[in-house]
Amino acid sequence: MALKQISSNKCFGGLQKVFEHDSVELNCKMKFAIYLPPKAETGKCPALYWLSGLTCTEQNFISKAGYHQAASEHGLVVIASDTSPRGCNIKGEDESWDFGTGAGFYVDATEDPWKTNYRMYSYVTEELPQLINANFPVDPQRMSIFGHSMGGHGALICALKNPGKYKSVSAFAPICNPVLCPWGKKAFSGYLGTDQSKWKAYDATHLVKSYLGSQLDILIDQGKDDQFLSDGQLLPDNFIAACTEKKVPVVFRLQEGYDHSYYFIAVFITDHIRHHAKYLNA
């Protein structure tokens, strides 16, 4: 599949690049960002996938998170996808910030008119990794995933739905129990229909209750002053309780004074890179 390079910038000895390609899953042109550390010049490196939150593109993470130095030091290729299909001209896709464009929720839609394009789950778990494996010096056997907010939800469900596929998972302020929060109810009813039993297949709290895969050490950072935490959008306590019940290891850190922004992510991103490097470079 043809890749078109959009940009390339040297950073901490490596290269931060952005590419465009025609997506088969999403039936549109998509962009992704990829950071190639210095080690990628001489051999295959582990791949770490980042999933962003509502309204974001591939640009938010690469310009605001400040992860490059840690990724360079640990020799990790870091890939950041977009958050939804773009330019599909579906009626209603640009009417609200939390549904449609920029809000794919990392599900495979089953409802019209979304099901033809809104297949972000298959895109980030299958199509994008295959594209990366075929075109860049990565080791397909060493792959991990992390994300923020809607992308934190995405990272958790990708890891829980695919035991053994990802070596590690982490999240910043993830939407942990979307079947019970306003964001999730809106997105899932639109993409997946009114049968709420189908929603549980994309809900980390429900997925962990039936998880039977290899051990997965989960790291979650949550800002204590996050407005969406107090608004009941994130519901981490439900996820922690489910992990505890199933004896799935999770480190949950409630960070005093921090909100939902990239200022929060930038403070703790190095911890997350280290968390993944521990498993990816083992």
What are the Cα distances from residue 274, in Å, to 174, 218, 280? 19, 13, 10
**Catalytic status, residue 226:** yes
The catalytic position among 82, 108, 203, 226 is: 226
Q: Any idea where the domains of the chain sit in the sequence?
A: 4-281
- Residue 1: the pLDDT is 62
Q: Which amino acid is at 128?
A: L
Mean pLDDT confidence for 121-143: 98
The catalytic position among 68, 74, 206, 260 is: 260
- Rounded CA separation 158/152 (Å): 10
The catalytic position among 149, 170, 221, 276 is: 149
pLDDT tier at 214, thresholds 50, 70, 90 = confident
- Kindly report, residue by residue over 251-273, the tens digit of the pLDDT: 999 999 999 999 999 999 999 99
**Catalytic status, residue 260:** yes
Surface-to-core class of residue 5, CB atoms within 10 Å of its CB (0-12 exposed, 13-18 middle, 19+ buried): exposed
Mean pLDDT confidence for 153-176: 98
Output the pTM of the full model.
0.98
Please tell me the total number of residues recorded for the chain in this structure: 282
Strand 4-11 with 77-81, pairing: unpaired
- Kindly report, residue by residue over 170-209, the tens digit of the pLDDT: 999 999 999 999 999 999 999 999 999 999 999 999 999 9
| Averaged confidence pLDDT in the chain | 97
CATH for 4-281 (3.40.50.150, 1.20.58.220, 3.40.640.10, 3.40.50.1820): 3.40.50.1820
- Rounded CA separation 157/16 (Å): 27
- Kindly report, residue by residue over 217-237, the tens digit of the pLDDT: 899 999 999 999 999 999 999
